[in-house]
Structure 1
Amino acid sequence: MDEDGLAVRFEEQRPHLRAVAYRMLGSHAEADDAVQNAWLRLSGADTAGVANLAGWLTTVVARECLNMLRARRNRREEPLPDVTAEPAAEAHDAGDPEAEALLADSIGPALMVVLDGLAPAERLAFVLHDVFAVPFGEIADIVGRSPAAARQLASRARRRVVGATPPRQVDIARQRRVVDAFLAALRHGDFDGLLAVLDPDVLLRDGDAEPVRGARAVGAHALTFSRAARFVRPALVDGAVGLAIVPQGRLIGALAFTFDHDKITAIEMIDDPGRLRHVDLAALRP
């Protein structure tokens, strides 16, 4: 297949690949990097023998995400011991298929913080199997373990997710109150007001810049943009309340928030035009 035809087929898969990468990484910037790396791999590979291009690309993106998760954790991550099948635990964990489907569908901003606490291989196994229905045999090849071990990784992750954050409906009104308070504090240069809505361990990601962690550090960084806050408006960003940056009515960026009750636990700055095109944005009434 010529490169133009290959590019067309890749673009057909891009939304799916980006969805896989975002749920694994919790970052739009890193997700786009993983998808772009998959394209580079595809454009330089001999795909004549690839019968299932979508599956091949999903595997490539998953491996990219696994490497990025491991690099992110580096010294914070301890090696995960090899897992063997535990029939008793598996039988107990099977549960209600409908409940498991609801759990998988609930993955969104509210659960990203929980997923960040999982080991990379656990997160990958859970997301690929429970959200995207990838067979354990294929997951096993990606993580370099047996299918039984891959199944156990997903089961372990599922138990932690269920125990930490039960599925719940997104409370848009509650999120809106938090974001309105954040924006008001930002516009007035109110450092204490920012601290009131920021989780003590809040994480700020801004493209390739070094992430900023901690309420005081994130609050101080946010205040450097206080003057530009008059151009910021509340908006739905990928289904959660966030902020759109619209000087003179032209969208140039967005802030995506992750919430835990009435606190902001993560902020992601999205200002790359290519990334903005793939973000689901909707205006909110004042």
Structure 2
Amino acid sequence: MFKLSSLNLNGIRSAASKGLEQWIATTRPDCMCVQEVKAQAADVQGRFEQLAGLQGYFHFAQKKGYAGVGIYTRHAPSDVLTGFGVPEFDAEGRYVELRFDTPARKLSIVSAYFPSGSSGEERQQAKFRFLEAFYPHLLQLQAEREFILCGDLNIAHQPIDLKNWRSNQKNSGFLPEERAWLTKLLRTNDNPRGLVDVYRRLQPSATDAAYTWWSNRGQAWAKNVGWRLDYHLATPALAELARAEHVYKEQRFSDHAPITVDYALAL
């Protein structure tokens, strides 16, 4: 069984100070995708290149203390790719891909951090540009290989993916355009080759248990007024290998919860 975790750290130094490495050692994922590292190479060197025996690979933002993604892995990759070829967003450290290729298969694990548009219209427009550029990249990647993308998408797809969906229909993260983008990406009867939302494949009707992010305001975590923003998106063949999932709401390393999926897969 291949255990794959994902977590928006909201700062690797902060998450580490709250017991992240001990949780990894206890949970023992084979691979862990992280987002919002909020550090540069010099900050990671000598401190966070490895966690609980997993080797880390990173794509850092040029701006200090901002964004950044990584993947920690128990298995050595055959190749490491950073960025997806769009300078605006590659400068922000939003994409790292580890390839685990063999003569018999092409397989990638991707950690991605989608922009948030919640700070204002300028960043919302950047988010739309990201979505427009990222969609063809994912299509091209799928044409070449099987993959699982883990990450903070900053989009809640359906009303069951957030507590107060009616009052959030005009807010970033639940805008009709964002939700439509995700619908277009995912497998449907009209799009049988689309990617699969793995959590929803395993838990098609979960509501409160599905949330992975809570605002720091208004006791949102205590009241479980949350959003499901963190995903495993997989090519159909890999999604069929998903056996079990777990959202670790009780772990408070950041304002997000880790989400883990077990796949019947050998690297």
TM-score, scaled to structure 2 = 0.29
Higher share in strand: 2
TM-score, scaled to structure 1 = 0.28
Structure with greater contact order relative to length (CA < 8 Å, sep ≥ 6): 2
Higher share in helix: 1
